[in-house]
Amino acid sequence: MVYLDHHATTPLDPRVLAAMMPYLTGKFGNAASRNHKFGWEAEQAVDESRKQIARLIGASPREIIFTSGATESDNLAIKGVAEAYAGQGDHVITCAIEHKAVLDVCRKLEQRGARVTRLPVGRDGLVDPGAMEAAIGERTVLVSIMYANNEVGAIQPVAEIGRICRERGVPFHSDAAQAVGKVPVNVDADSIDLLSISAHKMYGPKGAGALYVRRRDPRVQLTAQMDGGGHERGMRSGTLNVPGIVGLGEACAICGREMDEESARLRRLRDRLRAKLEAELEEVSINGSMEHRLPHNLNMSFAYVEAESLMMAMSGVAVSSGSACTSATMEPSYVLRAMGVADDAARTSIRFGLGRFNTEEEVDYAAASAIEAVKSLRELSPLYDMAKGGKWFK
């Protein structure tokens, strides 16, 4: 089976597992144990990971807080800032195509009395920084805009958004679960104050993540969302997941070394996949900007072919669709809807997410499989036949 769903999760890199292994076995110490070697070696490993993460995003190790993943990082960043700055305001700006880990947190704040502005995006999936600036008011305490989208791969104009936020004195959070390790991210160049990271989106283990929190120019205040032993300078209590943290650090180190080469290779494979699909199939369209896009993402609509049927027919390829199966109805993706993609087109959309271990042969197999499936499903489609003036209505 060919795995092309790397926006959902990535496999663990064997080098990451090798780095983690000692901490799953003999080196099992609690990083907070100060009295013996078991604790010291765990603490040392955690410190090394902090450095590896910081290096990848241009931060200082003291600005890294370990969490269980990007969902927790998003919760800590948004709720933590909203609470810490409650004396100054109650308005949060985000955008319509954020991950649920941001949108649902914002809805929760709204229920608690905050005001939330959800910026629209264009057909390309991008936020307009001018519209963001116009939305900033006296009581705005946070702007939260994702670095790269998990469905269409759109990379937001983060540096410009950051520059405006800095000028206006508003903390800027970015959910970078899809971007870190895939494209260059630098919290200083991008003027980012809080940044969410997830290990399992970058060939690290599930259940490990980090939140970058700026400590100077300006220092960002944060109210803890997890109280307890005062770990992570009081911002996130709980015994550290040492193997997971070691894995996240190693994953960052590998991405830092190999990102340039890997992203060029994946871009080539992605463009090859796109070219094959476009050459063999009519009435296909790409969702989102090709210019401002993650190199390993392709999101395509195949007119007249329901994504669910297409995925079923492509049984040897793991991909995702632009619709979410709920109990009875097939809801088109809110991301595509916010981009102005018609419901019909959204229901026929497939997300291809390429990754580190995909080969050219696998991509060719996936392309052939998609082409064959689309052609045979269209053969059976009265709608397609009608559109083509086929036998049914001649």
Ligand X SMILES: *Cc1c(COP(=O)(O)O)cnc(C)c1O
Per DSSP, the three-state class of 198 is strand
Q: From the CB of 342, what's the least distance to ligand X, in Å? A: 24
Q: From the CB of 199, what's the least distance to ligand X, in Å? A: 7
By the rule CB under 6 A, 133 interacts with ligand X: no
Query: In the range 144-183, which residues lie near ligand X by CB under 6 A?
Result: 146, 150, 175, 177-178
Q: Which residues, in sequence order, are CB contacts of 241 under 8 Å at separation 6+? A: 66, 68, 207, 208
Question: Phi and psi of 3, rounded to 5°?
Answer: -95, 110
Q: Which residues, in sequence order, are CB contacts of 172 under 8 Å at separation 6+? A: 142, 143, 144, 145, 161, 162, 165, 166, 191, 192, 193, 194
Stretch that binds ligand X, among 23-31, 44-52, 105-113, 198-206 (CB under 6 A): 198-206
106 catalytically annotated: no
Question: Phi and psi of 125, rounded to 5°?
Answer: 85, 10
Q: From the CB of 176, what's the least distance to ligand X, in Å? A: 8
Binding-residue pattern over the window 84 to 113 for ligand X, x denoting contact by CB under 6 A: ---------------x-x------------
If binding means CB under 6 A, how many residues of this protein chain bind ligand X? 14
Nearest to ligand X of 95, 141 (CB atom): 95
The answer to whether residues 9 and 208 touch, using CB atoms and an 8 Å cutoff, is no
**Distances in Å between the alpha carbon of 110 and those of 72, 78, 144, 178?**
19, 12, 15, 26
Nearest to ligand X of 173, 378 (CB atom): 173
Q: How far apart are CA 160 and CA 87, in angstroms?
A: 27
Q: From the CB of 150, what's the least distance to ligand X, in Å? A: 4
Residue labelled with tokens 């519209």: 131
**What is the Cβ-side half-sphere exposure of residue 335, based on CA atoms within 13 angstroms?**
25
**Two tokens at 111?**
């229920």
The residue with its CB nearest to ligand X is 69
Contact residue for ligand X among 29, 129, 209, 247 (CB under 6 A): 209
Query: In the range 294-353, which residues lie near ligand X by CB under 6 A?
Result: none
Which is the catalytic residue, given 95, 106, 165, 325? Answer: 325
Q: How far apart are CA 367 and CA 3, in angstroms?
A: 13
Q: From the CB of 242, what's the least distance to ligand X, in Å? A: 18
Contact residue for ligand X among 69, 204, 205, 332 (CB under 6 A): 69
Q: Mind telling me the catalytic residues?
A: 325
Question: Which residues lie near ligand X (CB under 6 A)?
Answer: 69-71, 99, 101, 146, 150, 175, 177-178, 198, 200-201, 209
